[in-house]
Structure formats: structure tokens, C-alpha cells
Amino acid sequence: MDLRALIFDVFGTVVDWRGGIIREGAELSAARPGLELDWPAFADAWRGRYPPSMNRVRTGEQPWTNLDALHRASLDELLAEFGVAATVGEDDRRRLVTAWHRLDPWPDSVAGLTRLKRRYTIAPLSNGNVALLVNMAKRAGLPWDLVLSAELVRHYKPDPETYLSAPRLLGLEPGQVMMVAAHLDDLVAARAHGLRTGYVLRPDEWGPGGEAPRPRAHDELDLVVNSLTDLADHLGA
């Protein structure tokens, strides 16, 4: 492999979205007596709205809308469904949308990325919008060389335009770029467009009792690793 750049899925791969949304929700409940909500269930439901909301953009049913705006629309729907629409006002809704900017990294993420950056160009390639990814990186200390996002090409993964934007903008061949993700569908799509693939097992993504990822054989994926420091070990960084 003449590998030059690593691009990373973010939600679940680099940061713990579920734990972060639960933490921010609990903080909001503590500040708003009367706001009682099952935040773990709410986090899962909110995340559940994400693929269908993106698909409406991907199919052209809805014009380009960035992830903050998709998150806001699905938040408004879910607060009504959970019966707390009257309790959560405009300021709190804005605070919850930007909770996705304040997710904590997995314990190995900063150390792994810092090592990988010495040898490779590193960037997120996320469906998150640029501002979300920048705010997250500054808060969490994610040392990206640059920020790549679906927003830059106005196509959500798994559209080909998103994956192909990385080698194009970096001046590389697809085979010189590795997509790193905790989700096989992301990797299968990246591989179809010639990118290398690194699968990170994140058994805690969906919380205790959540669905655990299945390790896969190496003939489907270039690498299967347990963490980003493990990835650095495998890649000599």
C-alpha cells in the first residue's frame, strides 16, 4: 500500500455520540426542573432519524440541508413524540442541536490521531457539517490536518461524490486514501470507489446491550483494528 491519507467517519468511530447526547440531555434536565426524559432512548431515537433524513436529501426529495438543520428538524419531531415539546423552548433546542458539536472522543482517539498525523494526512470525512466538525475538533483536541465534509460537495455518504472528494482535493489516487470507520456500510461504499478500508471495532457505540459490531475477515477489508492507537500500530505511525 502506498498510503498517504486517512479519512475518518466521526460519529461512533472517533467520538461517542450516544454518551455525549445522554450527558448533554442530563445536564439540560438538571437545569430545567420538570424536564424528565429517558435520554438514552431519546439519543437512540434521534440517531434513528438520521439515515431517513439524509436519504430525503440524497434522493432529491429535499434540497441540500446540512446536518445541523436535519438534526433540528428531527429534534422538533421527537420532542413532540416524547411529549415534552412545551417544556423545551427555542434556546434549549439550539443547545441540544449543538450538543452534536460537543461529543467526547473515545479514549484512544486523540492519541491515535496524533501518532497517525506524523506520517499521514488525516481528516474527517463525515456527514457532519463543517462548523460541527471544527467546533468538535477544537473542543476535543482532534488534530485534523483539514476538515472534509459532505457539506463541501453537498452529497451525503454513501453518495460517490463524497468519497471521491477526498482523493480529488488531496491530489491523490483513491488507492492512496484509507476510509476508517466503525460501520461496514460506509467501508463497503468507500471500497467500491477504490479507497482502502480500515474497520474500527467500537462495541460500545450503541451503549450497554446495544448491537455489537462483527469482526470481519481481512479479505474484505484492508485492516480490522480495535482502536485508533491500534490503527497507528498497524500502520507504523
Residue-by-residue DSSP string for 120-179: SEEEEEESS-HHHHHHHHHHHT---SS-EEHHHHT--TTSHHHHHHHHHHHT--GGGEEE
| Residue 155 interacting with a copy of itself (CB under 8 A) | no
As measured in angstroms, the least distance from the Cβ of 176 to a copy of itself is 12
Among 177, 181, 229, 217, smallest CA distance to 201 is for 181
**Binding to a copy of itself (CB under 8 A): which residues in 117-146?**
121, 129-131, 133-134, 137-138, 144-146
| Residue 94 interacting with a copy of itself (CB under 8 A) | no
What is d(CA 54, CA 46) in angstroms, rounded to the nearest whole number?
13
Q: Which is nearer to a copy of itself, 1 or 146 (by Cβ)?
A: 146
As measured in angstroms, the least distance from the Cβ of 10 to a copy of itself is 14
Residue 78 corresponds to which cell in the numbers above? 421527537
Number of neighbouring beta carbons within 10 Å of residue 118: 9
**Binding to a copy of itself (CB under 8 A): which residues in 159-178?**
169-172
State the number of binding residues for a copy of itself (CB under 8 A). Answer: 19
Q: Which is nearer to a copy of itself, 97 or 187 (by Cβ)?
A: 97
| Residue 147 interacting with a copy of itself (CB under 8 A) | yes
Which single residue is written with the C-alpha cell 439550539?
94
Interface with a copy of itself (CB under 8 A): 68, 121, 129-131, 133-134, 137-138, 144-147, 151-152, 169-172
